Amino acid sequence: MVHILGLSTATISPDERYLAALIKSDVGAEVQVWDFRSGNQLLAHALPVPQGRPIGPQPPTYIRYTNDGQLLAVYLSGDMFFVLRASDLSVVRTIRIKPDPNPTGLETSPADHRVAIRISGEVRIYDLDSGGEIRSWSVSPDEQFEKWALDPHLHGAGIAWNDDGKTLAISVADNPPCLRGGGTIYVFDLLKEKATKSFRVKFLPSAVAFGSGNNLYIASNTCGGYFSHWTLDLPIVDVTSGRETGRIPAGKVGIRNYIAVSTNKQFLLAHADRQKTTLEGFEDTVKIEDAQWQVWNLAARKLVLVLPSALQGTNCSYDSLSNSGLYAYGSGKDDVCIFPLPPVTQ
């Protein structure tokens, strides 16, 4: 665990040597780089506060390394994000984005210096080297359900790059969360103006993550069934055909909201729980039990580890994986919890 006062969010570098942390307060912000193994802070750089919108709980903040570890993309609030040089944290450029955004996702490309930002019903692709916008797509047919379903404080971002850096998958929720309604998965090619593929899923989709090839894992955020737990397996879909090719079995819990796949495609990290909805005091009440973070061996489709509860005195959740799957980690108030994972065995 690394204790960082004022922590907002953090990410581990592609070479798994450093931790980049975003610190925020009502009056300012700072990016820090740590050697998380020794617990030593190595670098720090203050960032200006965007004008017209104070830093606060909303909107969410993001910090991401590029695939080669050379740059950091940082979003605080307002209508711009920063591009920093990772080696010394100097600001390379700022990039203006859609005015008054409320991003529900920001992910850097696994193949080059590009970033995808999800803003309400749009996805925009920016070149971090030039600062220019490359492409934008509309993805949300119903903002009423989308706003709830993709609240990044509650659920996954619903945006994922494939390894080629050209293919992007987006999940769109277009049904109420507590009914057995479905959603749509859109697949985009960076070179094309419209979706190359879209297909329906029977559950309300949340976070998505690419496995090997064209296999896409799709988490659900359908809430608990009335008076009985709905078990939610994790489906695997071939994005070229839209057909399901397999499932990660949920067992007695349901896989919901957050998933992450390591860059080497060996590990999958998933949030799971038992959930049901009851009527108490004439209001719907969701009861959650057995909440846990699971680690799966993807080749064997085998559950290898259930991560321990957050360390005492923290509220960390393990919602990210390092590139090779050496570490599961997540941010809580003033803490980053990092858990070393066992090596993959067939």
Q: Which domain holds residue 250?
A: 143-306
Say if residue 56's pLDDT is above 70: no
What average pLDDT does the chain have? Answer: 85
Clarify whether residues 255 and 131 are in a common domain. Answer: no
Clarify whether residues 186 and 68 are in a common domain. Answer: no
Distance between CA atoms of 259 and 319, rounded to whole angstroms? 7
Clarify whether residues 106 and 27 are in a common domain. Answer: yes
- 233 falls within a domain: yes
- Could you give phi then psi for residue 144, rounded to 5 degrees? -60, -45
- At 12-48, the pLDDT tens digits run 999 999 999 999 877 779 999 999 999 999 999 999 8
Clarify whether residues 91 and 41 are in a common domain. Answer: yes
pLDDT at residue 87, as a whole number: 97
Clarify whether residues 149 and 238 are in a common domain. Answer: yes
Of 181, 176, 136, 185, nearest in space to 158 by CA: 185
pLDDT at residue 322, as a whole number: 94
Question: Do 218 and 200 meet the contact criterion of CB atoms below 8 Å apart?
Answer: no
Q: Does this model's pTM top 0.95? A: no
Clarify whether residues 47 and 164 are in a common domain. Answer: no
Clarify whether residues 263 and 176 are in a common domain. Answer: yes
Task: Say which amino acid occupies 125.
Answer: I
- Give the CATH number for residue 181: 2.130.10.10
- 218 falls within a domain: yes
- At 215-225, the pLDDT tens digits run 999 998 877 66
Clarify whether residues 36 and 171 are in a common domain. Answer: no
- At 220-258, the pLDDT tens digits run 887 766 666 677 899 999 999 999 999 999 888 889 889
Q: Look at residues 138, 162, 179 and tell me which one is the last residue of a structural domain.
A: 138
Clarify whether residues 302 and 155 are in a common domain. Answer: yes
Clarify whether residues 162 and 119 are in a common domain. Answer: no
Clarify whether residues 187 and 261 are in a common domain. Answer: yes
pLDDT at residue 153, as a whole number: 43
Clarify whether residues 133 and 164 are in a common domain. Answer: no
- 328 falls within a domain: no
pLDDT at residue 103, as a whole number: 77
| Identity of the highest mean pLDDT range in 94-108, 124-138, 196-210 | 124-138
Mean pLDDT calculated for residue range 177-201? 85
Lowest mean pLDDT among 24-33, 95-104, 180-189, 237-246: 95-104
- 330 falls within a domain: no
State what percent of residues in the chain have pLDDT above 90.
Answer: 52
- 315 falls within a domain: no
For residue 113, what are its two tokens? 């210096």
Number of domains in the chain: 2
